[in-house]
Amino acid sequence: MLSRNAVSTCRHRSRACLHAPSRSLASVASSSSSAASSEPSTSKAVLHAAVILNRSPIITRTPTLFERAYYAYQSRIRRALFNPFPTDFYFKTGSLLEKKFAREEKVREREAFGGPWTVKRQGPESEDEVGTSTADQAESMGEEPMDPPAPRIHESDRTGDVKSLDRMSERNLYLLVRGKDHLGNEVWRFPQGGLHEGEHLHQAALRDLTAECGENMDTWIVGKKPIAVHQAPLSESVKKSLGGAELYTFFLKAHILAGQARPNGTNVTDFAWLTKEEIEPRVDQAYWASVKDILSDF
């Protein structure tokens, strides 16, 4: 009988002990949350929107030695395994189309297996095999010679013109401008500016790009969300002038579709279309650390 009373007493006490701390914790949590909500926010920030304006590659990248060797090997395999083309079925014997196909087939054979492309000429030199060019053969067949492909190196690459959009055709280029920063110093940076009241980041980025680089460009802002942010290192005097606020620059990605930059000469005095490697020595190291991972290596 005594043991049963002791067990029931312990059960009642354990229930009371379980309920008591839960009420006390709830009261502490409610009081702490109310105290946290009553504290005023003292953090301040000045926001800027910048544009990473990109010119995509114009031509395909030059293949490496390994890629060229691989493509040549695959071409030889295809040429060795495919069935001969039935020229008698598709072309009339002795027609111009048959001769043109035979000439192009010789070129493909040469590209696949190597070796000189030679033909025999009629006359006293018939015993000697001499090479003929594509233009000579096209002229002999009554066809107009094809223009050679344009060179992969533009004139601006030879002259070092960094303002040309035709330079470095295989690489991604980015618009960098020389203008004033938050301290009034002339620095190389991306086009940027402040935000107006109630303005979104992508709206401010497009407006600042037009204000600094002119209206002669057809551009496209890729998205409304920034792809990177840079917190400018400020001295105590600069922070006091900003009212103790921090300065943040948000970067948005954009592409140029047509036109060219035309700076106004007031806020921006110069511009250049540069690759990732060319941007690094021109900008501040803290600025470079914030943007290097969003620039293409190719």
Chunked in runs of 10, what are the mean pLDDT values of the chain (298 residues)? 45 44 37 42 77 94 91 83 80 88 83 56 41 51 66 90 94 94 85 91 93 92 92 76 81 95 87 96 93 92
Q: pLDDT value at position 256?
A: 96
The pLDDT value recorded for residue 13 is: 45
Residue-wise DSSP of 107-118: HHHHHHH----E
Sequence-distant (≥ 6) Cβ neighbours of residue 8 within 8 angstroms? none
pTM for the structure as a whole: 0.66
Whole-number Å distance between alpha carbons of 55 and 298: 12
Q: What is the pLDDT of residue 122?
A: 40
Largest CA distance in the chain: 136
Count the alpha carbons within 13 Å of 296 in the hemisphere toward its beta carbon: 15
Residue 65: CB partners within 8 Å, gap ≥ 6?
none
User: CB within 8 A of 55, min separation 6: which ones?
Assistant: 165, 172, 173, 174, 175, 255, 256, 273
**CA 200 from centre of chain:** 23
> pLDDT value at position 27?
34
Task: Specify whether the CB–CB gap between 50 and 268 falls below 8 A.
Answer: no
| All residues at 6 or more sequence positions from 115 whose CB lies less than 8 Å from its CB, including other chains | none
Pairing type for strands 118-120 and 45-55 reads unpaired
Give the model's pLDDT for residue 220. Answer: 93
H-helix segments, 186-284: 201-213, 236-241, 276-279
CATH homologous superfamily, domain 45-60+170-292: Nucleoside Triphosphate Pyrophosphohydrolase (3.90.79.10)
Spatial distance between the Cα atoms of 268 and 186, rounded to a whole number of angstroms: 9
Which of 69, 146, 73 has its CA nearest to residue 103?
146
Q: Where are the domains of the chain?
A: 45-60+170-292, 63-112
